[in-house]
Structure 1
Amino acid sequence: MLALVAVLTLLATHDVRQLWWIVLLAIAGLPALLAPQHRLLGPLSRVAEVVLLGLAASQVGAVATVSAQLGGLGASAVLPYLAVPVTVTALRRRFREGAALLAVTAATLLVSGAFTEVDGVRQLAQPGYLAVCAQWLILAALGLHAASTLHRVMRVRTDGEPQPYAEATRLLTQLRTVARQLPGATLDPGGISEHLLEELRTVTRTDRGAVLSASGGGRLVVLAQIGVERVDWETTLDADSAIADAWASQQPHTAARSQSRSHTGGDVSALIVPLVAGVRTVGLVVLETDAAHAYPPPVVSRVTALTSPAALRLEAALLFDEVRSLATNEERQRLAREIHDGVAQELVMVGYGIDNALATVHDDAEETAESLRLLRQEVTRVITELRLSLFELRSEVDRHGGLAAAIAEYARTVGASGGLRVHLSLDESTARLPAATEAELLRIAQEAVTNARKHAGAANLWVTCEVDPPYAQIEVSDDGHGIGDQRVDGHYGLAIMAERAERIRGRLEIRPRQPSGTTVAVVVGSSPRRDNVRDSAAPAEGE
């Protein structure tokens, strides 16, 4: 701004001596520049700037009148500098100081104009002097007012809408507190859904029922169900079904046909009630009975009276599950990065060092060379284990590939590294399990495959995966030397598998395989036609 004002002054006055005013303005503003946070130097420096500015405006205006016949318009050569001190006060949110500076500037312009004469005529009487001064003062005042208004708006928004990280911290803190106060199974979506279905059974006839929730991609997943057999529910939201209509409208729907794609016919009454928390649909309750007109309006009212409070509980459980999954996945990725960039790279360098040492060993030091070769083999083995651990940490259930594909990929990769012949049997329906359930089943399968590779001494690995929501069964068998006498609670990996199965309300069984080897099986949900794992597994033994 000083450079601009200097050029304008030269153009208006054609007098180099008037640049002394620019030098004085620079000197006056120097303390505020060097000590901007000082309580006295900053404000005093800005007051000195506006006083000098008022004096310079009248003097430069007078010289311009004589040299260029500009009248009072010559004052506009230096008045643009008024934006500097006013803008500084606005940026520092010192709006009262800015208003005071404008008042001091106006007073200085009036006093200086009254005492400055041009050809015997006071500057105040020169044509345009007061208009130019008023113009720049008004512009500066408008800028200060706009800054003040913007500051108030931003402050209101900041007070009303906390910053994302601050808000996230507050909500997560509340979630942690609530989670500690609630009973153990309260934040389990499956447990909440099963309890709701049992409650609904007490108020209306129900031969089949299920609680569904969104899984992304325009599909629903079955959280829980009741009935004599598993039902293949319509889970596509873009289908022509009462389920899709209820989800879109957020209103209960009744239908005279089954919402199952596998129903064989006959009289059926279906009731679909959306679970709405606030304005968001978090799930659906589907009830069916093999009778006509089984859900009149009074029954619908009794059902909705139970589902309304359950919607909020289910939403809290689903959000808690999502937060836990996100945190777990992020931690797994972080560990994978640290291992890859840290110990894995260092081990590779150790291997290179051993290779260099081997190259320099003399022929008469065969014993030393053999020791180095054995050490190199061990380092190679550890690096291989690390790479497999990285693969396991980074393995996730793909949104489109499904659980069976993820388990198959892991089994093939690990089996190939361990010299195992892998036999896969995959049977997965188009419907999906909840994301948290799929993640836990994948980890259980990974642990079982890893145990077979590391400890079993097997030549073959059989992996069976059946997924037909809400039922799923994963079975991993090997033909190794068996489980021996070690107990599950004495083996960390097997204990982790048991904890994971319990978390998703699954049943884990670890048993000997005939004629040799071990079978690890986990089942989620129930299906009378397929339930090959006992309802209550005996204490299992580990490898």
Structure 2
Amino acid sequence: MVADGPLAPVLLPRPRLLGIAVRAVMLAFMAALSLRAAPTLGVLGWIALIAVAAVPALLMPDHRVIGPLARLAEVITTCLAAAAITHIADRPGAGVGTAAIVLSYLWVPVVAATLMRRRYEVPVLLGAAAVVLVAARLIDPELARTGFTGSSIHWLGLTAVAAAVSTALQHSLLSQRDSPQPYAEATRLLTQLRSVARQLPGATLDPGGLAEHLLDEVRAVAPASRAAVLSASGGGRLVVLAQMGADRVDWETGLDADSAIADAWASQQPQTANRSQARSAVPPGTEVSALVVPLIAGVRTVGLIVLEIDAPAAYPPAMISQAAQVAAPAALRLEAALLFDEVRSIATSEERQRLAREIHDGVAQELVMVGYGIDNALAALPDVDATTEELRVLRSEVTRVITELRLSLFELRSEVDRYGGLATAIADYARTVGQSAGLRVHLSLDESTARLPAATEAELLRIAQEAITNARKHAGAENLWVTCTIDPPFAEIEVSDDGHGMVDQPKEGRYGLAIMAERAERIRGRLEIRPRVPNGTTVAVVLGSAPRRGSV
């Protein structure tokens, strides 16, 4: 804590200033006590010599040569000053123990060496101090009467202990700084999560499935014409995890709105209302009862259950209490499922980014160099050479593969922007692919301000990307139609082309269809593949029930 060096940033924010402060305090302490024992200019002279020896140790503490020599000079000067000031003070009326006062400075350069991670210096400095102190005792036998020998042994021992403690502290701090503690903790928690997930029955870590089951349980004690489970998505809005009822409802998902939904989220208490909690129009004159039950895990609101029925005062206090009792144990299960979904999404996204970097820095760069090599060969060969045409064909194939890799990199790096939305991400990908493949892209986008869960949006984006890629690579199409209708919890993505259809679909294309089907099943969606009239193929993924027309 008195010098700059590799450990200094770990221990102190401004080690050089602290080194100056420590030395200044120690020198002032020695000067005051030594002058009290022997008020002469000689005492100040020796204190000044120690200060001069400390200057290079402060200015260049980590220099490979000057730093160690400066600290050695501090130690030797301190030992000589201790002997000299003790000799000066050894007269009638002078105090005893002056050697201990001066030798207390020894720990400063020695501990500085340990903090500079120059451990080989410590025995050298202690050895040099012992040699100087023994030599002074032999040269001036009068020092024996002042307790000089005992003070020397005492402070050499204390300095060695200080160096050992400093070294141990350094090891401890470095191990804390360098140890992968966050990764170890994450590994432990993820291992536990994996074990728990394997023991749970069925798809109990699926937020949508849990939400649907919860609605069934709550509606058994509190009847509802329409119901939904909402959860947070960031940005001050909620997402619909699941909903039930005769008709689809456009729920109010803003947390800053004047609604029972916003009040229940903020107060963490069940809320009732005599008006609908939806933005969709309710027929005039319809009497509505609404109940919003918060899902509380610990002290956090993780979601809401919204129930509505077209009848007045339909939720008495006893029914509200029963609904809250049913919802209470479900909150922790839902939070675990949402966290698991988020961890899986983050891991998937990071792995896609890593693969994109690997491909870009590896195979893609090597293929570009192969292309340059072919170009150089073509430039060196005559145009009429038979090999030239083969090289041109090879160069064309290399260019095609590089284009495919660039599109694959774009697909890997594509994500649903938190503010842009799913439809925007799909449209950007369709435009990029269409431009590279010479396809005319026709877009029809209808996206509400409400958002789907992030994991669901990610899966829908990958399904759309795979469908667009299949159309580009295998359909032989001229036109591509992409239609997005997103009104949570409903979503429908449709990709159509005017190519030659499914008859000549290659094996790799069918593998892509299997991947899309797996993704759709994961989010409880439906994948539909059908011929397009008069020619081509339509791939659609549908999530939730059909949208209600005429909703506001």
Contact 2:295 2:327 in 1 (8 A): yes
- SS of 1:122 mapped into structure 2: helix
Give 1:122 shift.
Answer: 3.4
Contact 2:223 2:309 in 1 (8 A): yes
Structure 1, residues 370-413: CA drift from partner, whole Å, max 9, x if none? 11111111111111111000010001111111011111111111
- Give 5+ residue unaligned stretches, structure 2: 3-22, 32-40, 54-74, 118-125
Instruction: Write the mapping of 1:460-471 to structure 2, written as runs, cut at 5 A.
Output: 460-471=479-490
Give 1:201 shift.
Answer: 1.4
Structure 1, residues 393-447: CA drift from partner, whole Å, max 9, x if none? 0011111110111111111110111111111111001101111111111100000
Give the partner amino acid of 1:411: A
Give the partner amino acid of 1:425: S
Identity %: 68
**Equivalent residue number for residue 329 of structure 2:** 309
Distance 2:391 2:309 in 1: 74
Distance 2:507 2:314 in 1: 49
**Equivalent residue number for residue 205 of structure 1:** 223
- SS of 1:405 mapped into structure 2: helix
- Pairing 1:123–2:146 present: yes
**Equivalent residue number for residue 419 of structure 2:** 400
Residue 291 and residue 154 in structure 1: after superposition, are their counterparts in 2 closer, same or farther (change >3 A)? farther
Give the partner amino acid of 1:79: S
**Equivalent residue number for residue 289 of structure 2:** 269
Give 1:187 shift.
Answer: 0.6
Give the partner amino acid of 2:219: R
**Equivalent residue number for residue 514 of structure 1:** 533
**Equivalent residue number for residue 184 of structure 2:** 166
- Pairing 1:526–2:524 present: no
Give 1:279 shift.
Answer: 1.4
Residue 79 and residue 246 in structure 1: after superposition, are their counterparts in 2 closer, same or farther (change >3 A)? same
Instruction: Write the mapping of 1:246-261 to structure 2, written as runs, cut at 5 A.
Output: 246-261=264-279
Name which of 391, 398, 401 aligns with 2:410: 391
Name which of 78, 101, 106 aligns with 1:81: 106
Give the partner amino acid of 1:294: A
Give the partner amino acid of 2:203: A
- SS of 1:229 mapped into structure 2: coil
- Please, what TM-score do these two structures have when normalized by structure 1? 0.76
Contact 1:488 1:494 in 2 (8 A): no
Distance 1:394 1:485 in 2: 30
Distance 1:294 1:315 in 2: 29
Distance 1:86 1:364 in 2: 80
**Equivalent residue number for residue 331 of structure 1:** 351
- SS of 1:117 mapped into structure 2: helix
Distance 1:528 1:62 in 2: 97
Residue 277 and residue 257 in structure 1: after superposition, are their counterparts in 2 closer, same or farther (change >3 A)? same
Distance 1:476 1:282 in 2: 35
Greater relative contact order, per chain length (Cα 8 Å cut-off, separation 6+)? 2
Distance 1:209 1:488 in 2: 44
- SS of 1:491 mapped into structure 2: helix
Give 1:164 shift.
Answer: 2.1
- Give 5+ residue unaligned stretches, structure 1: 23-50, 93-100, 531-543
Structure 1, residues 335-364: CA drift from partner, whole Å, max 9, x if none? 000111111111111111111101100244
Instruction: Write the mapping of 1:188-267 to structure 2, written as runs, cut at 5 A.
Output: 188-264=206-282, 265=284, 266-267=286-287
- Please, what TM-score do these two structures have when normalized by structure 2? 0.75
- Pairing 1:294–2:319 present: no
- Pairing 1:414–2:420 present: no
Give the partner amino acid of 1:473: E
Name which of 49, 53, 60 aligns with 2:84: 60
Instruction: Write the mapping of 1:324-403 to structure 2, written as runs, cut at 5 A.
Output: 324-365=344-385, 367-403=386-422
Give the partner amino acid of 1:231: V
Contact 2:229 2:303 in 1 (8 A): yes
Distance 2:190 2:520 in 1: 26
Distance 2:424 2:115 in 1: 61
Give 1:149 shift.
Answer: 13
Contact 1:489 1:495 in 2 (8 A): no
- SS of 2:398 mapped into structure 1: helix
Residue 238 and residue 199 in structure 1: after superposition, are their counterparts in 2 closer, same or farther (change >3 A)? same
- SS of 1:306 mapped into structure 2: helix
Deviates more, 1:183-192 or 1:76-85: 76-85
Residue 229 and residue 70 in structure 1: after superposition, are their counterparts in 2 closer, same or farther (change >3 A)? farther
